[in-house]
Protein backbone atom coordinates (compact mmCIF):
# COMPACT_ATOMS: atom_id res chain seq x y z
CA UNK A 1 0.00 0.00 0.00
CA UNK A 2 2.91 2.33 0.69
CA UNK A 3 4.22 1.78 -2.83
CA UNK A 4 0.79 2.62 -4.27
CA UNK A 5 0.76 5.81 -2.22
CA UNK A 6 4.22 6.78 -3.49
CA UNK A 7 2.97 6.30 -7.05
CA UNK A 8 -0.05 8.49 -6.33
CA UNK A 9 -2.49 5.61 -6.79
CA UNK A 10 -4.24 5.98 -3.45
CA UNK A 11 -5.20 9.66 -3.57
CA UNK A 12 -8.05 10.21 -6.04
CA UNK A 13 -10.76 7.78 -5.02
CA UNK A 14 -13.58 8.78 -7.34
CA UNK A 15 -14.13 5.50 -9.24
CA UNK A 16 -16.86 3.24 -7.94
CA UNK A 17 -16.74 -0.56 -8.10
CA UNK A 18 -19.31 -3.14 -7.09
CA UNK A 19 -19.88 -6.84 -7.42
CA UNK A 20 -20.96 -10.02 -5.72
CA UNK A 21 -18.57 -12.54 -4.19
CA UNK A 22 -18.81 -15.68 -2.10
CA UNK A 23 -19.19 -14.62 1.56
CA UNK A 24 -16.62 -17.17 2.75
CA UNK A 25 -14.11 -15.85 0.20
CA UNK A 26 -14.71 -12.33 1.49
CA UNK A 27 -14.32 -13.46 5.11
CA UNK A 28 -11.06 -15.31 4.42
CA UNK A 29 -9.65 -12.41 2.39
CA UNK A 30 -10.42 -9.96 5.20
CA UNK A 31 -8.79 -12.25 7.78
CA UNK A 32 -5.67 -12.75 5.69
CA UNK A 33 -5.26 -9.12 4.65
CA UNK A 34 -6.36 -7.37 7.82
CA UNK A 35 -8.58 -5.10 5.72
CA UNK A 36 -11.34 -3.51 7.77
CA UNK A 37 -13.56 -2.33 4.92
CA UNK A 38 -14.63 -3.56 1.50
CA UNK A 39 -12.97 -0.51 -0.07
CA UNK A 40 -9.68 -1.25 1.67
CA UNK A 41 -9.84 -4.90 0.61
CA UNK A 42 -10.57 -4.01 -3.03
CA UNK A 43 -7.77 -1.44 -3.07
CA UNK A 44 -5.36 -4.01 -1.64
CA UNK A 45 -6.38 -6.66 -4.18
CA UNK A 46 -6.12 -4.27 -7.15
CA UNK A 47 -2.82 -2.96 -5.85
CA UNK A 48 -1.43 -6.49 -5.71
CA UNK A 49 -2.40 -6.99 -9.35
CA UNK A 50 -0.82 -3.70 -10.42
CA UNK A 51 2.36 -4.24 -8.41
CA UNK A 52 2.84 -7.86 -9.52
CA UNK A 53 6.52 -8.28 -10.32
CA UNK A 54 6.14 -11.22 -12.71
CA UNK A 55 8.29 -13.53 -10.58
CA UNK A 56 5.94 -16.51 -10.82
CA UNK A 57 5.77 -16.33 -14.61
CA UNK A 58 9.53 -15.88 -14.94
CA UNK A 59 10.13 -18.78 -12.57
CA UNK A 60 7.86 -21.07 -14.60
CA UNK A 61 9.38 -19.92 -17.91
CA UNK A 62 12.86 -20.74 -16.63
CA UNK A 63 11.97 -24.31 -15.69
CA UNK A 64 14.44 -26.76 -17.15
CA UNK A 65 16.83 -24.09 -18.44
CA UNK A 66 19.65 -24.77 -15.96
CA UNK A 67 22.34 -27.07 -17.35
CA UNK A 68 21.91 -30.40 -15.52
CA UNK A 69 25.69 -30.76 -15.22
CA UNK A 70 26.00 -27.47 -13.31
CA UNK A 71 27.14 -28.04 -9.70
CA UNK A 72 24.69 -26.10 -7.50
CA UNK A 73 26.12 -27.34 -4.19
CA UNK A 74 27.57 -24.09 -2.97
**Can you give the pTM of this predicted structure?**
0.62
Please report, for the chain, the start and end positions of each structural domain, with discontinuous segments joined by +.
2-9+19-58
Q: Taking a C-beta distance cutoff of 8 angstroms, is the pair 74, 65 a contact? A: no
Give CA 21 to chain center in angstroms: 18
Measured CA to CA, the distance from residue 67 to residue 18 in angstroms comes to 49
Nearest one of 67, 50, 36, 62 to 5, comparing CA atoms: 50
- Model pLDDT for residues 16-52, shown as the tens digit of each residue: 999 999 999 999 999 999 999 999 999 999 988 888 7
Average pLDDT, whole number, for the chain? Answer: 87
Structure confidence at residue 62 (pLDDT): 84
State the DSSP string of 28-61.
HHHHHH---SHHHHHHHHHHHHHT---HHHHHHH
Amino acid sequence: MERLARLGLSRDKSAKLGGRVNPKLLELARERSGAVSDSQLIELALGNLVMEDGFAEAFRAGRGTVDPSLDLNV
